[in-house]
Amino acid sequence: MTAFTLTQEQRAQTRKLSERIISDLKLQNRGAQTTTVTLPAWMRSLQENQFLRKLAKVLPYCVLGGTLAVHLLASTPVLAIGIGLLAAVKLIVRKAKNNNPVIQRMFAKVGQRKYMRLIAALLFGGTLWGSLNNPVHAQFLNGAEEFFETTFGDTAGDTIPIVFGVLRAIFLLYIAVSLIRIINAARNDDDWQQMAKAPLITVMAVVVGDVLTTLVVGA
């Protein structure tokens, strides 16, 4: 066999080549380990994400609000009327704010967002009130009332309309009292948003219950 003698320069190049191969193999092993470790780290980062945590808290309210909006749009133009009135009032308030120093001081004291939320609540509450005051176009508990009238017919007489009319009157009084309390709290610079949560949840619960009743009885 023929023996090859390497010079010092060739030995140095061979050493560098072997070190490069070893480093490449180590990097490949690290990449394989990283693929196994990255998945739990990714899941952990999702769990620690503040936006996703806030979204998970708000998601049930978004579902209820979406159900309410779909129900109102499908049954009556209350939501569309409320949005139109809100847009009109916002334009009027913006014009008045630019020209009236009194309104400018009011916005500077309380804040524009609080005023717009209060105006939106009043507009939607007023339009909803107007739609519920008319028994022919009443939306809440309408499916259940039609179901009972169809089921019992003339046997119950005027009992069913009276019962559901009383329920609607109680609900309207509750909304009116809640709106008065919210307006007084806003005027006194109290936390009116906390007071508005209970009536809002009640309205959503009644609407969702009415939607589910309509799905069950097929009214």
Percent of the chain with pLDDT over 70: 50
Question: Binning pLDDT at 50, 70 and 90, where does residue 136 land?
Answer: very low
pLDDT band, very low/low/confident/very high, at 190 (cuts 50, 70, 90): confident
Other beta carbons within 10 Å of 82: 20
Higher pLDDT, 2 or 172: 172
pLDDT digits 0-9 by tens, 76-103: 555 555 666 666 666 666 776 676 676 6
pLDDT in tens, 34-61: 444 455 666 666 667 777 777 777 777 7
* Spatial distance between the Cα atoms of 120 and 48, rounded to a whole number of angstroms: 34
First to last CA, the chain: 100
- Residues 47, 204, 62, CA angle at the centre, nearest 5°? 30
Residue 126 in this model has a pLDDT that exceeds 70: no
pLDDT in tens, 149-188: 888 877 777 788 888 888 888 888 888 888 888 888 877 8
Q: Which 8-state DSSP code applies to residue 188?
A: T
Host H or E run for residue 219: none
Cα(88)–Cα(94) distance, rounded to whole angstroms? Answer: 10
Does the reported pTM lie above 0.75? no
Alpha-carbon Rg of the chain, whole angstroms?
Answer: 33
